[in-house]
Amino acid sequence: MDPIKVGIIGFGRSGCNIHADAIARMPELFEVCAICDLLPERRTHEAFPHAKPYADHRELLADPAVELVVVAPPNCYHASFAVEALNAGKHVLCEKPFGFTTADVDAMIAASKRANRILQPFQQRRYEEDFRKVLEICRSGRLGAIDFIRISWVGFSRRWDWQTSRRFGGGQLYNNMPHLVDHALELFGERNPAVWCTINNALSSGDAEDEVHLILHAPGAPTVEVEMAATAAYPLDRWYVCGTAGGLRGNATHLEWKWVDWSKMPERPLDLHPTAGRSYNSETLEWHSDSWDAEQQSDAGAGAAPAPKPVMALYSGLYRAIRQGAPQEITPEQVRRRVAVLEQCYRMNQIPFPKGTR
């Protein structure tokens, strides 16, 4: 094997605890050879003792040993650092948010094409077991036509770090919502949705939102509701799906669904005559049911570090794209659609974009 040499810009929770830790599990595919962070004490990793430390990301980009740059500084720098890395001839894996606007994404895609380098969005939750199972059930037709989907990541907690500050592009719309909206759009289908979104800062110490309620709608598509709340003292199912033949509910570790086989039921044509005894329509339904339990570790939802296997799955696909010329499994063009939805949310709530956003 020929491990890809990786430089990581930003060695905080994501750069260190997600990316470097995942790469350490895949030594035959990747090796961290350079680490950049503003804090000197955060430029090392025990699994990569020979990684060169840098204080300035431009010095890392000038390192000829670096083939792939992981862009993981605060949110407001993602798009500009990704373009700089591509212009330096590096492949790029860009953390979410993958830009704040479609113009950001278009600039990254253009730089990728000019440099003939891979630009990989970090949408690793696309590989999560529960999401893939929900997608499979919804597409199977078992539940009939899908009419409504609710995705909930809620809890009761306060935050007071940079992720709560608009100055750095903080807030849940571009922190954890990129994962939920990515899931929502995969379930929604190919139509362009109408978007409604409301936000609130309930408990965080900064000026950015910690609660988001989002609805996607289009004729012929399911209505998809996505909610993230910091004031939910009681838990909710992460997944709630309604279809014309049944429904599904559950979370990252357990899903259950039930359905009616309408072909075994009598037809019910419209009858405008009074019902006997002034009663309401009723019938006995024969329910069928099934369930699923996760085989691997799952995360605890919003704000928790991702489980390692989805991260490693994304990295494995990236290795194949770089070394073997395989097509990317998650493309910038796919994720541009998700960015377009979040951009609409910012604009309808009159939130100023971070400085430097296109």
Instruction: Please indicate, yes or no, if residue 300 is contained in any of the structural domains.
Output: no
Are residue 326 and residue 219 in the same domain, yes or no?
no
Q: What is the pLDDT of residue 157?
A: 94
Does 251 have pLDDT greater than 90? yes
In a domain, 246, yes or no: yes
The residue assigned the tokens 């989002």 is: 214
Residues 181 and 248 occupy one common structural domain? yes
Query: Looking at the domain assignment, is residue 340 inside a domain?
Result: no
Number of domains in the chain: 2
Residue 357, pLDDT score = 85
Same domain assignment for residues 193 and 319: no
- The answer to whether residues 23 and 52 belong to one domain is yes
- At residue 74, the pLDDT reads 94
Predicted structure pTM score: 0.94
- Average pLDDT of 192-210? 96
Average pLDDT, the chain: 95
Domain of 32, in residue numbers: 4-125+307-330
With tokens 């999401």, the residue in question is: 131
Residue 10 sits in the same domain as residue 48: yes
Q: How confident is the model at residue 307 (pLDDT cuts 50, 70, 90)?
A: confident
Please compute the mean of the pLDDT values over residues 280-307 and round it to a whole number.
Answer: 80
Q: Residue 301: its pLDDT value, please?
A: 53
* Mean per-residue pLDDT, 322-344: 97
Same structural domain, 242 and 99:
no
- Quick: pLDDT tens for 101-147: 999 999 999 999 999 999 999 999 999 999 999 999 999 999 999 99
- Per-residue pLDDT at 34: 98
Do 111 and 218 have their domain in common? Answer: no
Residues 45 and 69 in one domain: yes
In a domain, 298, yes or no: no
The length of the chain in residues reads 358
Q: Cβ neighbours of residue 128 under 8 Å, at least 6 residues apart? A: 252, 298, 307, 310
Same domain, 71 and 168: no
Residue 301 inside a domain? The answer is no
Question: How large is the average pLDDT for residues 171-200?
Answer: 96
Both 134 and 93 in one domain: the answer is no
Cβ atoms of residues 173 and 198 within 8 Å: no
**Residues 194 and 61 grouped into a single domain:** no
Tell me, yes or no, whether 72 and 163 share the same domain. Answer: no
DSSP for 35-77 reads EE-SSGGGS--TT-TTPEEESSHHHHHT-TT--EEEE-S-GGG
The CATH number of whichever domain residue 141 belongs to comes to 3.30.360.10
pLDDT tens digits for 81-96?
A: 999 999 999 999 999 9
Gap between the Cα atoms of 314 and 311, Å rounded: 5
Question: Residue 218: inside a domain, yes or no?
Answer: yes
Q: Report yes or no on 31 lying in a domain.
A: yes
Tokens for 245, please give them: 């033949």
Specify the CATH number for the domain of residue 32. 3.40.50.720
Structural domain includes residue 255: yes
Does pLDDT of 302 surpass 60? no
Give the pLDDT score at 298.
57
pLDDT for 232 equals 96
Q: Are 68 and 19 in contact (CB under 8 A)?
A: no
